[in-house]
Structure 1
Amino acid sequence: MTINEVSLTHHDGEEAAAMLEELCDGYADAYGVEPGEEKAAAFRRRAEKQFTRPGFALVSAWAGGQLVGFVFGYTLPAEDTHWWGGVQPEPTAEFLEETGSRTWVLSEIEVRQAWQGKGVGRALHDAALGARGEERATLATGPDAAAQPVYESWGWRRVGRIPGDEGDYYSAYDLFVLELPVNR
């Protein structure tokens, strides 16, 4: 299995919604959990909410007719965004300003276990972010997420930590920012 066997496809929210079961199966495989377990169920709830958000986009990776990975996200709205709420250390007001076209949230990037470490994640990342017109992208990870060094090697910069909300998987999240366009 090599990255040369993988094809990437761009999708909108309606197409993503039609792929929900495949996305849930891919997510569960990426984390080595059963599709019905809490972590996978939480993914399903997040995904269903995001398919209709402005600027939503999905890039899927396929090999041999199987979904082997995906990335998706959406654009932060100009108002009522809670994304930066409580971030510490507190950035400048200019940094926190959202226009509805400034920041794209990389919400999920997942690769099936058999395909991890083969460049699929980076290909998905670059395909999704290379198609964006926003000034920057942002993502959130658990404070001890193994992916943090990978994101940093791809040019992401940690900007702070926010508290998690009640019912979140983590009690806090580290926020990262990447200036766009992506130059590899």
Structure 2
Amino acid sequence: MLDEIVDVYSSAYGEVTGEDRGVKSSAFRDRATGALDANNYELVAARADGLIVGFIFGYSLRPEREWWKGLTPEPPVGFAAETGDRTVVLAEIEVRREWQGRGVGRALHDAFLGGRSEERGTLAANPAATSTHALYEGWGWVKMGTVPGRPGSYYPEYVRFVLPLPLQNLPR
């Protein structure tokens, strides 16, 4: 399935001026392969006529991951404490460009998070992707702030979002 989800990832982003699509897809392949060993890893895919049109994957956040390190503004006391089963990371949600805007992403989101046992979800976003931020906020996610990117990260900083679980009465 890895080749298929790399193809979906590549399609979801299309051609971006100044970006090397091959480098970005290769980096995604490495991240996706590395995620397979994560605690409570799960992947949900949507197919149409045998073709994967979208997917989502994530895993439980390990305490040693330091996901919240450097979060600005500083979160409330205890917010960043991770136990290994408190928070699920929504690592990727991608939909082929020609399938975007049809509810596939939202259906994948709800299917993935609806089956999780953690008390909250989190995700990271490109700080410049404001239309994506608006989409997440429309789905009930709350922007917590930004964290610096790690050495070798794709972006110099990331926006962190959270969503209480279980899913219930979220905006449609």
TM-score, length-scaled by structure 1: 0.86
Report the Cα offset of residue 52 of structure 1: 1.0
Q: Secondary structure at the match of 2:58?
A: strand
Give the fraction of aligned pairs with identical amino acids, expressed as a percent: 52
- In structure 2, the partner of 1:119 is 103
- In structure 2, the partner of 1:61 is 46
- In structure 1, the partner of 2:80 is 96
Q: Give, in whole Å, the separation in 2 of the partners of 1:167 and 1:35.
A: 16
Given the alignment, which residue of 32, 36, 53 partners 1:47? 32
The one-letter code sitting in structure 2 at the alignment partner of 1:135 is E
- In structure 2, the partner of 1:12 is none
Given the alignment, which residue of 151, 160, 166 partners 1:175? 160
Unpaired stretches in structure 2, ≥5 consecutive residues? none
CA contact (8 A) 1:35 1:41 kept: no
Deviations 1:107-155 (A, max 9, x none): 0000001100000000000000000000000000010113110000000
Report the Cα offset of residue 92 of structure 1: 2.5
- In structure 2, the partner of 1:8 is none
The one-letter code sitting in structure 1 at the alignment partner of 2:10 is A
For the pair 1:27 / 2:16, whether they are aligned, the reply is: no
Q: Give, in whole Å, the separation in 2 of the partners of 1:22 and 1:81.
A: 28
Unpaired stretches in structure 1, ≥5 consecutive residues? 1-18
The one-letter code sitting in structure 1 at the alignment partner of 2:72 is Q
Given the alignment, which residue of 85, 89, 94 partners 1:105? 89
Post-superposition, which runs of at least 4 consecutive aligned residues in structure 1 deviate over 4 A? Answer: 33-36
- For structure 1, which segment, 86-95 or 107-116, has the greater mean C-alpha deviation from structure 2 after superposition? 86-95
Q: Secondary structure at the match of 1:123?
A: helix
How many positions carry a matched residue from both structures?
A: 165
Superposed counterparts of 1:123-138, under 5 Å: 123-138=107-122
Report the Cα offset of residue 168 of structure 1: 1.2
